[in-house]
Structure 1
Amino acid sequence: MGGTLLALAAVALLLGSGQELAGRWAASAFALAVAVRLGARMARALGRGRWGIDILAVTAIVSTVLVGEYVAALIIVLMLAVGTALEDYAARRAKAELAALLERTPRTARRAVGDGYEDVPAADLRVGDVLLVRSGEVVPVDGMLLSDSGVFDESSLTGESLPVERSAGDEVMSGSVNGEAAVLLRSTAALEDSQYSRIVALVREASESRAPMVRLADRYAVPFTVLAYALGAVAWAVSGSPTRFAEVLVVATPCPLLIAAPVAFLGGTNRAAASGIMVKYAGVLELLGRIRTAVFDKTGTLTYGRPTLLGVLPEPGTDPTALLRLSASAEQYSSHVLAASIIAAAADRGLELAPGTGASEHATHGVRVDVAGRDVVVGKPSFVAAYASGVHEPVLAEGQLAVYVGVDGRFAGVLMLSDPLRREAPATLDRLRALGVEDLVMLTGDALPTAERIAAEAGLAEVRAECLPADKVEAVRSLPHRPVMMVGDGVNDAPVLAAADVGVAMGARGSTAAGESADVVILQDDLARAALAVAIGQRTVRVALQSIWIGIALSIALMAAAAWGYVPAVAGALSQEAVDLAAILNALRALRPGRGPGRWP
C-alpha cells in the first residue's frame, strides 16, 4: 500500500509540473508492473489448482493502458491496494479473538523451589510442580488448587462473565485470571496439554482452515470471468470501440469473490470462540448451519450427570454401610458417570475404600471387582443377574435411578440415586426446533423407563434406550435427515461423536476422549450453547452467501451499465471499490450475534 501511494504521488508530481507525457509513461509503466506481479501470483495459484479472478484485474489494467485510460489504470491499481488493505483489516478484526488469546498466553511461571520460588518459562513446567499465581496473573497450566480458596475469571474460556470460586482440591483451568489473592497450584498438565493451549490451537486451526463454501466461492470466479469477457466483447463489437471493453473489465474485479466468504467464516469462528464454543475447523460451521437432526446423550448431557445418593436399600441381613463401602470400592475401577457419585457419597460418610483386584468393566453395563477377597458386581440389573442370584427391581419413584449390587454371587441390594433434568434442556430443544432442526433424538445406555421419564420432561418424542456404544454409532448412521449433530460427554460418547456429521463435546476439559473425537468443544457445562453453535453456523453461512451475492449482483449491474457506455473507466474503477467495501462490511456482520431464536444475550 505504501509503495503504491508513493508511485501515485510521483506521477501526480510529474503531471502537476506540466510533464504530461512523462507522467503518462510513468503511470502506464507502474500499472503494467503491477499487472505483471498479479500475473505471476495468478500463475502460482493455478499451479496449486486454484482458479482466481486476478486474470480480470490483469486484463483490466492492460486494456486501460492500451486505450490510453492511464488514470483509470492507476485507480485500479490503487483500488487493488486498498482492497488488500481492507482484506487485512477485516481478517485482523475477524481474528480478534485469536489475537486476544495469543496476547494472554502465559510466557513464564513462578515455580516453588526449596523455600522460595523461581521464574521459569511456562513450557518448562511439568506435572506435579507447585506454582505461585499472584493477583491478576493468568494461570499458566491446568492445576489443582492447594490454597484454601480462590476466585478466578474464566470469561475468556467459557464466555461466563462472573468470577467463579474454587476450593482446595478443585480444578483450575489454564487461561483463567486469578483474583485479588495469590494462590498456590499443583500443575496437573504440561503447557501443551493444558486447556488454554488447546483452545489457542483449536482457534488457530479453525481460522486457517477453508470451509466448503469458501472453496465454492472460488469456483464462482470461473463463470464470472467468462461473463465479464463476454459482456466486454459484445460491448466492443456493438460500439466498435475497444475502450468499451476496458470499461466493462474495470468494474469486473470484485474482491467479494475472494475475501467475503473467508472473512465471514473467520468472524463466525471467532464469534463462537468468544462464547466458549471451540470449532475445530471452518467447515464445521457450514455443517452446523445445515443441521437437520440433533441427537443427545442422557446422563451428563440432558441431565446434570452428577446424581446424588438418596439412600441404600440392602437385602435382609446386609449392612447398608458395608454395602455402600463395597460398592464404592468397586466403582473406583469404573468410568461410568454414576461411579463418581457413589464414591463421593461414601467419602461424605467417612468410609475408607478398599483396594480391588481383577477389575473388569463392561461399558455402560457395570463393573466386577474382587474387593478384599469378595466378588463385587455393580451395575444394571441384567449385568448383576449374570453373576448374582435373586436380583429383583424395586419400585422407583419419579426421578430416581437404581444401581444394583451383587456380593459373592448373591444380590445384596440397591443404591438409589437421582439425576435431574437440566433446567435449560427444554428451552434448548425448543430453540433448536425454531432454528429448523427437524428431528430430536435421545440415545442412552440407561433403562427405558428412566430414559422415557427424562425424555418426557425435556419434550423429546424419540428415545432409544439400553444402547451400547456400538448401538449408538449404528443409530446415528441410520438417521435419515442429515447432517446429524451428536451432543454428548464422557469417554463412552467418543465413538458416536466421531461417527456423527458434527460431534459436540459438552464441558470437555483438556485432551479427553470426547473432546478429541468431537468437531465442536463447548467449554462450559451448558447445554444451551449447543443451540447457540447451530445459530452461529446458520448466521455465518447466511452472511457469507449474502456477501458473495451482493458483490456479484452489484458487479453485474455495473458491467451492464458500462457495456452501454454509462460508466466511464475512471468512474467504474471508483464504483468497484464501493462494491468491495459493501461486501466486506456485510461479511463482518458474522462477528455480531444477530437476531432470531439462536441469539445469545
Structure 2
Amino acid sequence: MRFLRWMVRFPLVWLTIIVLALVLILSASGALQTARWIAVVYVSLVIAWTLFGMIRDVMRGHVGLDVLAVVAMVATLAVGEYVASLVIVLMLTGGEALEDYAGRRAKRELTALLDRSPQIAHVLVHPHSDSDEIQDVAADDVEIGDLLLIRPSEVVPVDGVLLSDEGSFDESSLTGESLPVHRQAGEEVLSGAVNGSRAVRVRALRRSADSQYQQIVALVQQAQDDRAPTVRLADRFAIPFTAVSLVIAGAAWGISGDPARFAEVLVLATPCPLLIAAPVAFLGGLSRAAKTGVIVKGGAVIEQLARVRSAAFDKTGTLTEGRPDLVAVRAAGGFDEDEVLVLAASAEQYSSHVLADGIRRAAESKGLALRPAEQASEVATNGVTALIGGRTVVVGKPAYVESLAPDTVRADIEAGQAAAYVAVDGRFAGVLLLADDPRPESAAVVAWLRAHDVERVTMLTGDARATAESVAHLVGIDDVHAELLPPEKVHLAGQLRPRPVLMVGDGVNDAPVLAAADIGIAMGAKGSTAAGDAADAVILTDSLAKVADAVSIGKHTLRVAYTAIWIGITISIALMLIATTGVIPAVAGALIQEGVDLATILYALRALTGPPTGLVVPTSDKELSPAR
C-alpha cells in the first residue's frame, strides 16, 4: 500500500522508469530507431513542461534553476545520447520524490505536533452527579465550563482546570520536558498534554481555538508555509552557478570540437543543493527548534536568528521569574494595611499585569476575601481602576496614581523591589512592595549571547529605574532603559545598532515591540496570546535558556545550509572539469550527478541535530552573583 501511495504521489517517476526500461529493451533487441523516437518524444514533453514551470517562476520573481537540466536534456538529445537524456529526466522527476522524503524527515517534529491535535472531547452529560455518562463531541464544539472526562493515555482536548484530586500528564509535546508533570485539583491542565494511567475530570477553561495546543498548531502551520529564505539562498547562487556551468561546457566543446563534450559536462551540473538541500536544512532547523520547545515561525526567522547582533530584554517575567511576592504594605492617609491590601487585590482581579497575581496571592494567603467590582477598567502598563463597594480604587504606577490622587507620595524602595501604588476615592492609600527575583539562567543567557557574536545587550522595561538597574546588575546588563511606555520601547528598539535586533518579552505590553523588532521572541509558557501572535518565535517552556537554544539552532542551520550548497557546487564543478577531458560518458555523468544530490541532501539533514549550547545554568539563586 505504501508503494502504491508513492506511485500515485509521483507518477512521473515511475512513468520515466517504464519509458527508460522500454527504451533499453528496444535498444538491446535492435529496434534502435523506435527506441530513439520514444525517448525523443517523451523527453521533449518533459522539456516543454519544465520550461512552462520555469517561465511561471520567473514571472513570480524567482530564477529558474531548472535551466541547467533543460539545456542538458536538449544537448543530450542533440548529440544522440537519448539514454542519458532519460536518466536526466529520471533525476529531475526523482528529485521531487527525494525532496518529499527528506522534507518529511526534516519536519517530523512539526508534523508530529499537527498529527496529535486533539479532535474529540468526552463531555459529561450530568456534570453535577457521579454518573460518567458522556457525549462525544468535536473538540472545536467544547464550550467554556463544560465538564470533560479524560481517559487514560488520551490527549487533553482544551485547556481546563483539574477537578480530580490529582493527575499525571505528559507535556513533552508542549514543553519538550520528557518527565510526566503531576497536577493537583484546581491546577490548570493544558490541551495537547497526554493523560496518565487514571481517568480524570476537567472543567473547560478555554475554547479549542484559544487553547495552548491549538495556538501551537497555528504557529507550526505558519512555520511550514514560510519558505522565503530558501528561495533567497537559491537566487543568490542560481545565476553564477548556471553561468559557470555553461562556460565550462562551452569551453569543453570549443576546445575539443566535439559537441558531445558539451552534453557530457552539463549533465554533471546539479542544481539539487540549491533546490532541495537548502530547504531541507531549514525544515530540519524548524523541527529541531520545535523539539526543544521553541516554535519558530518560518525559515526566514531561522536565518535572522543566525545573524542577530543586538538583543533587548523586557524585565518582569522575562529576565525575572515573573512571580513577584509581596514583602510589605505601607499604608497611608489613615488606611489600615489589610484594608489597602484587600482593596488592591480586589481591583487587581481585573488586571493582567504580572504584579497583580502577586498581590492577589498575598491577600488570599492572609485569608482576606476578595470583593467583586461593579465596574473595572485597565490602562495597559499603567494600572487598573475599579468601583468596589461604591469606592473607586486605583492601583498602578506612581505617575498614573498621582494623576488621580495628587497627594500620592513616592516611596523609597530597596534594590530589586517593585511598587504598586494605591489610591481610594482620589486619596493616596499606600504602597505595596513586591520582590521578583531574576531567573537563575538569566545571567548565563546574557553571557552566552555576548560570547556568540551579540555585540549589544540592553533592557527595555516599564518598571522603575532603581528596580530595573538592580536586576540588570545581577544578570550582567549595563544598558538599561526604564519607565518606558510601549511606543517608547518600539522607538528604542528601532534605534538599536548593530542589527538584526532580537527582542524577548512576555506580556501584552510587549506585543508592539516584539512585532517591531527584527526578531521577536515571546515567553509563551505564561505570556499573553497577543505577545505570541506578534512574535517571530514562541518559547513554550518557562525558561530563558531557550533563547540561547534558538540562536544556536539558527546559526547551526544556516551553517549546514550553506555548507550543503558549497559541497554540491564544489563537487559538481570539479566533476565538470574532469568531464571536459571526455573520460566521463553522458550516462555515467547523469548517474554520478544523482550521487552528488544524495550526498548534499544527507548532509543537509544534519540540521536535525547539532552541538549543545554549552550554557551553564546555576541550580539555585545562591549561585547568582552580581555580574561585573
What range describes the TM-score normalised by the shorter chain of this pair?
over 0.9
AA matched with 1:233:
G
**CA contact under 8 A between 2:174 and 2:540: conserved in structure 1?**
yes
Alpha-carbon distance in structure 2 between the residues aligned to 1:472 and 1:51:
40
Change (3 A) 1:472 1:222: same
In structure 1, the partner of 2:88 is: 76
In structure 2, the partner of 1:57 is: 69
- Deviation, structure 1 residue 250: 0.9
Matched, 1:112 2:129: no
Alpha-carbon distance in structure 2 between the residues aligned to 1:510 and 1:391:
31
What stretches of structure 1 of length at least 5 have no aligned partner? none
Aligned counterpart in structure 2 of residue 335 of structure 1, from 352, 374, 393: 352
RMSD, aligned α-carbons: 2.4
Alpha-carbon distance in structure 2 between the residues aligned to 1:229 and 1:212:
26
- Deviation, structure 1 residue 461: 0.8
In structure 1, the partner of 2:622 is: none
Matched, 1:220 2:237: yes
- Range with greater deviation from structure 2 (504-513 or 135-144): 504-513
Change (3 A) 1:479 1:280: same
AA matched with 2:16:
T
Aligned counterpart in structure 2 of residue 93 of structure 1, from 105, 122, 135: 105
Alpha-carbon distance in structure 1 between the residues aligned to 2:187 and 2:277:
45
AA matched with 1:204:
Q
User: In structure 1, the residue corresponding to 2:428 is in which secondary structure?
Assistant: strand
- TM-score where L is the length of structure 1: 0.94
Matched, 1:34 2:51: no
Q: Deviations over 1:209-235 (max 9, x none)?
A: 123343231352223223222222222
Alpha-carbon distance in structure 1 between the residues aligned to 2:484 and 2:57:
50
- TM-score where L is the length of structure 2: 0.90
- Deviation, structure 1 residue 597: 4.7
Matched, 1:291 2:308: yes
Alpha-carbon distance in structure 1 between the residues aligned to 2:97 and 2:596:
15
**CA contact under 8 A between 2:415 and 2:466: conserved in structure 1?**
no
User: In structure 1, the residue corresponding to 2:459 is in which secondary structure?
Assistant: strand
Matched, 1:134 2:151: yes
- Deviation, structure 1 residue 506: 0.2
- Deviation, structure 1 residue 395: 4.6
In structure 1, the partner of 2:19 is: 7
User: In structure 2, the residue corresponding to 1:504 is in which secondary structure?
Assistant: strand
* 1:157-556 mapped onto 2 (5 Å cutoff): 157-315=174-332, 317-357=334-374, 359-388=376-405, 391-508=408-525, 512-556=529-573
**CA contact under 8 A between 2:445 and 2:615: conserved in structure 1?**
no
**CA contact under 8 A between 1:328 and 1:342: conserved in structure 2?**
yes
User: In structure 1, the residue corresponding to 2:92 is in which secondary structure?
Assistant: helix
- Deviation, structure 1 residue 528: 0.8
In structure 2, the partner of 1:66 is: 78
Alpha-carbon distance in structure 2 between the residues aligned to 1:438 and 1:373:
54
Q: Deviations over 1:260-313 (max 9, x none)?
A: 221111111111111121112221111111111111111110011111112323
Alpha-carbon distance in structure 2 between the residues aligned to 1:173 and 1:68:
65
**CA contact under 8 A between 1:365 and 1:379: conserved in structure 2?**
yes
* 1:577-588 mapped onto 2 (5 Å cutoff): 577-588=594-605
Alpha-carbon distance in structure 2 between the residues aligned to 1:231 and 1:112:
73
**CA contact under 8 A between 1:535 and 1:598: conserved in structure 2?**
no
Alpha-carbon distance in structure 2 between the residues aligned to 1:379 and 1:47:
56
User: In structure 1, the residue corresponding to 2:394 is in which secondary structure?
Assistant: strand
- Deviation, structure 1 residue 598: 6.9
**CA contact under 8 A between 1:309 and 1:418: conserved in structure 2?**
yes
Change (3 A) 1:412 1:121: closer
Q: Deviations over 1:23-62 (max 9, x none)?
A: 4444444444433333333333334443212222122122
Alpha-carbon distance in structure 2 between the residues aligned to 1:516 and 1:400:
30
What stretches of structure 2 of length at least 5 have no aligned partner? 1-12, 618-628
The ranges of structure 1 where at least 4 consecutive aligned residues each deviate by more than 6 angstroms after the TM superposition are: none
Change (3 A) 1:421 1:509: closer
- Range with greater deviation from structure 2 (183-192 or 42-51): 42-51
**CA contact under 8 A between 1:532 and 1:599: conserved in structure 2?**
no
Q: Deviations over 1:185-216 (max 9, x none)?
A: 12233333322222222212212212334323
Q: Deviations over 1:116-141 (max 9, x none)?
A: 10122223322222211101001112
User: In structure 2, the residue corresponding to 1:403 is in which secondary structure?
Assistant: strand
Alpha-carbon distance in structure 2 between the residues aligned to 1:272 and 1:256:
23
- Deviation, structure 1 residue 317: 4.3
User: In structure 2, the residue corresponding to 1:174 is in which secondary structure?
Assistant: coil
Q: Deviations over 1:462-517 (max 9, x none)?
A: 11111111211111111121111111111111111111111111025697111111
Alpha-carbon distance in structure 2 between the residues aligned to 1:257 and 1:219:
10
User: In structure 2, the residue corresponding to 1:355 is in which secondary structure?
Assistant: coil
In structure 1, the partner of 2:620 is: none
Alpha-carbon distance in structure 1 between the residues aligned to 2:377 and 2:29:
92
- Deviation, structure 1 residue 367: 3.0
User: In structure 1, the residue corresponding to 2:112 is in which secondary structure?
Assistant: helix
**CA contact under 8 A between 2:120 and 2:137: conserved in structure 1?**
yes
Q: State the identity %.
A: 57
Alpha-carbon distance in structure 1 between the residues aligned to 2:394 and 2:120:
48
User: In structure 2, the residue corresponding to 1:577 is in which secondary structure?
Assistant: helix
Alpha-carbon distance in structure 2 between the residues aligned to 1:74 and 1:204:
37
- Range with greater deviation from structure 2 (132-141 or 543-552): 543-552
Q: Deviations over 1:402-458 (max 9, x none)?
A: 323233444333322211010110111111112211111111111111111100110
**CA contact under 8 A between 1:507 and 1:526: conserved in structure 2?**
no
Alpha-carbon distance in structure 2 between the residues aligned to 1:599 and 1:320:
43
- Deviation, structure 1 residue 350: 2.0
Alpha-carbon distance in structure 1 between the residues aligned to 2:247 and 2:379:
68
Change (3 A) 1:525 1:31: same
Alpha-carbon distance in structure 1 between the residues aligned to 2:541 and 2:315:
17
